[in-house]
Amino acid sequence: MLTRDDNELLSRVGPGTPTGQMLRQYWLPCLPSADLPDADGAPARVRLLGEDLIAWRQTDDSVGLMQNSCPHRGASLFFGRNEENGLRCVYHGWKFDTEGNCVDMPNEPAESNFKHKIKATAYQTRERSGVIWAYMGPLANPPELPYLEWNLVPTEQVQISVRLQECNWVQAVEGGIDSSHVGFLHKWFGDERNERGVSNMYRATDLQPRFEVADTDYGVLIGARREAGDEGYYWRITQFLLPFYSMIPPQGVNPAIGGHAWVPMDDETTATWTVGWHPTDAINATNRNQNLSQTMRLVEQYGLDPNVAGVLPATTQPGGKWRPVANPRNDYMLNQQVQREKLFCGIVVGRTQDQAMQESMGPIYDRTKEHLGASDTAIIRVRRRWINSAIALRDQGTPPPGALEPQAYHVRSVSQVMKRDVVWAEEARRLMGVQPGKPIYAV
């Protein structure tokens, strides 16, 4: 459990909060490029770390990101005219560039220099491999984007989707690094997938893996150890990368790797980015390791809504394109018959299963009430890294781990059988580095 103060410290992300300041030291995934498709096209509302912002793609294709509220008298720049490399407020015509400078003030006398005194809050952006990133931190020259492999491979080798999640970012990340729920929440009854393949066999035969954690420069290695008989131990090694990324261990032959980024929109809303990537091959139905076709067969068999994995009609509100059809208002489309016959939890889409559990804890979970066990080792360690990082920044000005070291993010997750006397974290460090042509280590 956490004290009330620590829980509060961890959960709040707005300007001036210790964790909010810590998060602002990192580049943040802001929008998929596809959400801002056209130069001089419609601006998009963005909410990031509790701030209401407006994003627009300029004439020269660069992306601006500034406060939504016009510095003149507060009208929303969502209604603004996106023209000639700037965003012009339609109320009185003030125009802004990507640095937040007022470059035109047509309702003031021509000889006035008032416009030079106006500076809006604006943030730097970068765009790579279909993702627009934002930097809300203090540095005029921030480091490069993190060398996450999914953000470096050609776009056909990566698959990205974003969903809005109605809860605090911490419980979403905690769900993502909590390996012990996988054998329960995501379990299919009588499905050959439970027994198929070496990794599934180890997972099926050892239901109480032992969890170990090791700190890294950028986060935490999370090892789940299972018995592998004469071979030794089967290790599934998840990466947690500060401030909010995970990489799930790959499995099978020539698999893609999956991961997440849980980006806080505000204290009670999170943008859940799901990524899948392959280092050498285009992403396809075989290597992306998703079970959507199996889910859709279930949908057909039980006469469920075929749009169960889809999104609601787009709105122009922040995250308005990312709202899942299955949500708390319809109990995530839980089906009791499916729960009795097919799935441990009865919610048919895998990611919705996670979403339902994490949101059902309430908008901001009160961790003074929880009871953590041995299977929660990773969660305990990651919380400690977050809290220590936020306090070190607040009290000593120390940049949090990885924030200034983009190269540190050039890693993969791993699953391997190792001899019993091998030091798993050392072996993992050997296997997990990213190099061109280096295979993914997975069984």
Q: Which residues bind ligand FES (CB under 6 A)?
A: 70, 72-73, 75, 89, 91-94
Shortest distance in whole angstroms from residue 88 CB to ligand FES: 8
**Chain residues in the site for Fe ion (CB under 5 A):** 354
72 binds, options ligand FES, Fe ion, none, Cβ within 5 to 8 A by partner type: ligand FES
Q: What residues have CB less than 8 Å from 380, skipping those under 6 apart? A: 372
Shortest distance in whole angstroms from residue 99 CB to ligand FES: 17
Among candidates 149, 22, 23, which has minimal Cα distance to 409?
149
Q: Which is nearer to ligand FES, 116 or 193 (CB)?
A: 116
94 binds, options Fe ion, ligand FES, none, Cβ within 5 to 8 A by partner type: ligand FES
Q: Which is nearer to ligand FES, 81 or 323 (CB)?
A: 81
CA separation for the pair 260, 248 (Å, rounded): 8
Q: Which is nearer to ligand FES, 80 or 324 (CB)?
A: 80
CA separation for the pair 418, 32 (Å, rounded): 39
The tokens of 194 are what?
């439970």
Classify 406 as helix, strand or coil. Answer: helix
Amino acid sitting at position 424: W
Q: Which is nearer to ligand FES, 71 or 183 (CB)?
A: 71
Q: Which is nearer to Fe ion, 256 or 431 (CB)?
A: 256
354 binds, options ligand FES, Fe ion, none, Cβ within 5 to 8 A by partner type: Fe ion
Give the CB-nearest residue to Fe ion. Answer: 354
89 binds, options ligand FES, Fe ion, none, Cβ within 5 to 8 A by partner type: ligand FES
Among candidates 111, 117, 72, which has minimal Cα distance to 95?
72
Q: Which is nearer to Fe ion, 182 or 380 (CB)?
A: 182
Q: What residues have CB less than 8 Å from 77, skipping those under 6 apart? A: 43, 54, 66, 67, 68, 69, 70, 87, 89, 96
Shortest distance in whole angstroms from residue 54 CB to ligand FES: 12
160 binds, options Fe ion, ligand FES, none, Cβ within 5 to 8 A by partner type: none
* Residue at token pair 């997990």: 432
2 binds, options ligand FES, Fe ion, none, Cβ within 5 to 8 A by partner type: none
Classify 93 as helix, strand or coil. Answer: coil
Shortest distance in whole angstroms from residue 319 CB to ligand FES: 24
Shortest distance in whole angstroms from residue 383 CB to Fe ion: 19
Q: Which is nearer to Fe ion, 174 or 354 (CB)?
A: 354
Amino acid sitting at position 176: G
Shortest distance in whole angstroms from residue 59 CB to ligand FES: 20
DSSP per residue over 167-228, as a string?
Answer: S-HHHHHHHHT-GGGHHHHTPBTT-GGGTSSHHHHHHHH-SSPEEEEEE-SSEEEEEEEEE-
CA separation for the pair 428, 214 (Å, rounded): 10
232 binds, options Fe ion, ligand FES, none, Cβ within 5 to 8 A by partner type: none
Shortest distance in whole angstroms from residue 72 CB to ligand FES: 3
Among candidates 62, 94, 57, 58, which has minimal Cα distance to 75?
94
The tokens of 345 are what?
């939890």
The tokens of 351 are what?
């990611």
CA separation for the pair 126, 27 (Å, rounded): 9
92 binds, options ligand FES, Fe ion, none, Cβ within 5 to 8 A by partner type: ligand FES
70 binds, options ligand FES, Fe ion, none, Cβ within 5 to 8 A by partner type: ligand FES
Q: Which is nearer to Fe ion, 124 or 327 (CB)?
A: 327
Shortest distance in whole angstroms from residue 31 CB to ligand FES: 23
Shortest distance in whole angstroms from residue 181 CB to Fe ion: 6
Cα within 13 Å of Cα(118), Cβ side: 21
